[in-house]
Each structure stands twice: as structure tokens, then as C-alpha cells.
Structure 1
Amino acid sequence: MTVRFGSFTAVDNVTLEAAKGEVTGLVGESGSGKSTLARAVAGLIPYRGTITGAERGRVQMVFQDPYSSLNPRMSIGDAIAEGTRVPRSGQAAETARLLELVALPTSYTAKYPRELSGGQRQRVAIARALAARPDVLIADEITSALDVSVQGAVLNLMRDLRSELGLTMLFISHNLAVVRYVCDAVAVMCHGHLVESGPVDAVINTPRHDYTRALLDAVPRLAHT
């Protein structure tokens, strides 16, 4: 896949594989091209190349800032129901099921985004993405806008959802420690290029590229074993 904006190439001839039922991490610093790649996969920006294994419309994305990605004038129930693939008569039950799936009370259907905390809003955004029953779920820095106290709970939720639903997921982060906790495999991007990829423990324990080693050095708590 290649993504260009005028004469600027944001993603240059990147090939990325995400195994079915597994979580693939995509890491890199700000400006590395990882979010641009994700938006292209989700069909939000034009690109040159092909996407296989997921039909267009069956790729859903959860964004970094849950408040800006939710319509403030739409109730939580309506926001989730909008994306469901069930008849209107079954939308209320499906919305309740999705809220329970992300560990929120079904009574939240009547609430609005402004009434929820950041962590709760992100859970709603995840439920809304799951409503479309996607082949691939893209999580773009979904904890970076949250308080540290709730980041772990959201990461645990993603692990539980992957286990329960068998999700195929592209998980984007700048933090290799987070990627190690959530992902099965990882791909490292630098200046629009894919510089290294493989099983997450192999890449983290024995990095081959200098850029990967620099990312590891930026996470002091992550031991090189």
C-alpha cells in the first residue's frame, strides 16, 4: 500500500499481514505513518494498493479521542444502534448486548457523551465499532487520550474482547510495552516505511533494526531479556 498527499509520500509501499483471530501491533513515533496506514485500511483516505481478507465496510476503527468521535447530540443508545446489522425491531436488544460486552450498564443507552468519563466514552466507541460485526477492528492509540488510571482497564477489555470474539485487530501505539501486553505480532514503522515485523516477543527481545532498538530504549521499564 502507498499513500500520497500531493508530492509527499506518507506511506511508501508497505505490506502488512494481520493473521485472522490475532492482534497485530503497529508501532512508531508520531509522524511515522502508522495512523495514515490505518485510515487507508479503514477506507477513510485514498491509497494505491489492495486490501484482502476483509470486505470494504467490514473494517471498523476506534479513534484516539472518544469524545470527538462521538456525536454529542446523539444518545449512547442511538450512536450504537446506528451501526448495527440487525432489523430495527432488534436494535434495542443488540445495543444492550453490546453495552454489556464492553462492561457498561444497559441504562447508559439514554445518556449522552458529555455525561460519561473518558474511559466510558471509549468503551462506547468500541461497542459502536463492534456493532457492525467487523472482519477487522482497528484501534488507533485508543488509550493515549485517557487518564493513566483507566488505561489498564481499557487494555484489559481489548484482551477480553479478542479472547471472547476471536477478533482480528490492528492495534496502533507508540508504546512497545503496551503492544507487548496486547498483541501477538508487531510491525514497526519509520518515516512511512515498514522496517521490522514478526512475533511480538521476538521483535522486542531480539530487535534487528536500530529504530526498533531506539523505541525500546524509550521505554525504561521494558527489560531486554
Structure 2
Amino acid sequence: MKISELTVRYGTFTAVDHVTLDVPPGSALGLVGESGSGKSTLARAVAGLTPHRGSVTGIDRARIQMVFQDPYSSLNPRMSVGHAIAEGVGPRNGSVARRAEIERLLDLVALPAAAARKYPRELSGGQRQRVAVARALAARPDLLIADEITSALDVSVQGAVLNLIRELRAELGLSMLFISHNLAVVRYVTDTVAVMRAGSLVEAGPVDEVIGSPRHTYTRTLLDAVPRLQRH
């Protein structure tokens, strides 16, 4: 997928300013920056959820799925887990095959088949986020966008969800746009990273290079906020 000169404006305010990036098949690009940097707006534009200028090529927009920050608000509280995932699976191959696919997807995100009968209120935050991931994967996306998917979770379960994302990448060969304000998280999950500030791209490259030898002062500021990533 290639993002070319993508721009999002709200009246006179420019939220994303002429951003150009590549996400090769099977790779994970991390978008990092503080709140208000434009990274989530860029992701929503890539997914076709926000009007924009510029282009997104090399992918069918219908084959992009997004997982949002708050798993509870993104799931219908009146819909069971099985029905929520079934929306992504669709009517293909009849009800028996659909149930089997729901069980396969639950297993893929390390949830038992019995979870299909539960409702979001009966699950923990980490379990709800796993359901959100399973629902996104049900559509068999060519690109998965993960927007701050651990920031609303307890610290105790954030690592488990990040490990799940790494495992899914390895197993499925997923292409991913992974959004976070935390460079340590981005380093753990992605191959390359793009640093955004005030809607503009200030630095991009292989994640270890950007963290090891940052070129922009803003990137160094982000690094200073994560003690274990500070350079010596």
C-alpha cells in the first residue's frame, strides 16, 4: 500500500499535511506521536472513514479493517460475541461453516469457543479487545489498522495483547498500520516507524534505526519519555 500526499483539513485547520508513506505487503508500519499529532486521523483517512485529499493505492479499501482504542464502545453491548464476529464473517458457506469460522477466529485470538455466547459486559477489557481483533480478522483484511489498541487496557494485560498481535503477524502474514504514542510499544510490534507532529511527518525509517539514531529533535523528545529506550 502506498499513501501519497494525504491531507486532511477541517475548515482552516490542517490535521494531516501531505503525508507520503509505504506499507509493503506483510510489513507493519508504526505511526507514533503525541495526542493531536494527526496519526489517528491519518489512519481513519487510509481506511476511508475521513474525507481527504491525496491517494491510497495498492489496496482495496474494502479490504482494510480497523481495531479501535476502546473495545467496549466499538462492540454492540446488545450483541453476543458470536454475532459480533459473524457480522465480519458474513453469510458465506452457510450457518454450520459460519459457526466453525467463529470458533476458529476465537481460537486465533486465544479465546474459548464458549466466549461466543457471552456479551461484552461479561468480558474483561483484554478479552473485549481480542474479540474486536477477531471481528476485524473475520473479514480477511489485506491491511489491519490498530489504533492505540492497548492504551485503554490495564498495564497487566497490555503485554498479552501486544504478544497476540506479534503472533498474528507471524501466523497470518498481516500487513499492519499500528498507531501508538509509545515508541517502546511500536518497537515491539513493527518493522518501520513514522513519527508525526502537528499533522506532518518529521521522520520515518526502520524502527531500530529511528530509535537508535533519531534525526529529529521531536523523536528524541519521544524517546526521553520512555526511559528504557533512552540512548546512551
TM-score by length of 1: 0.98
The answer for the alignment partner of 2:221 in structure 1 is 214
Where do residues 111-130 of structure 1 align in structure 2 (5 Å cutoff)? 111-130=118-137
Q: Deviations over 1:99-121 (max 9, x none)?
A: 00000001111100000000000
1:78 corresponds to which of 79, 83, 97:
83
1:166 maps to what in 2? 173
Gaps of 5+ in 1: none
| Stretches of structure 2 lacking an aligned partner (at least 5 in a row) | 1-5
Q: Please tell me the residue identity of whatever aligns with 1:16.
A: L
The one-letter code of the counterpart of 2:67 is V
Displacement of 1:57 in angstroms is 1.1
Letter in 1 for 2:154: D
State the superposition RMSD in angstroms: 0.9
Residue by residue, what CA displacement relative to the aligned partner does 1:164-214 show, whole Å, maximum 9, x if unpaired? 000000000000011111110000000000010000000000000011011
- How far is the alpha carbon of 1:12 from its aligned partner? 0.5
Shift of 1:63: 0.2
The DSSP-based 3-state class of the residue aligned with 1:72 is: coil
Query: What are the equivalent positions in structure 2 for 1:76-225 lying under 5 Å apart?
Result: 76-85=81-90, 86-89=92-95, 90-224=97-231
Task: Provide the secondary structure at the position in 1 that maps to 2:135.
Answer: helix
Aligned residues: 225
Measured in 2, the distance between the counterparts of 1:21 and 1:211 equals 28
Report the equivalent of 2:20.
15
**Ranges of 4+ aligned residues in structure 1 off by more than 6 Å:** none
Instruction: Say if 2:211 and 2:229, in contact at 8 Å, map to a contact too.
Output: no
- Aligned mates of 2:194, 2:77 — CA distance in 1: 35
Alpha-carbon deviation of 1:88?
3.3
**Counterpart amino acid of 2:174?**
L
Which has a greater percent of strand? 2
Distance 1:111 1:31 in 2: 36
- 2:48 matched to which residue of 1? 43
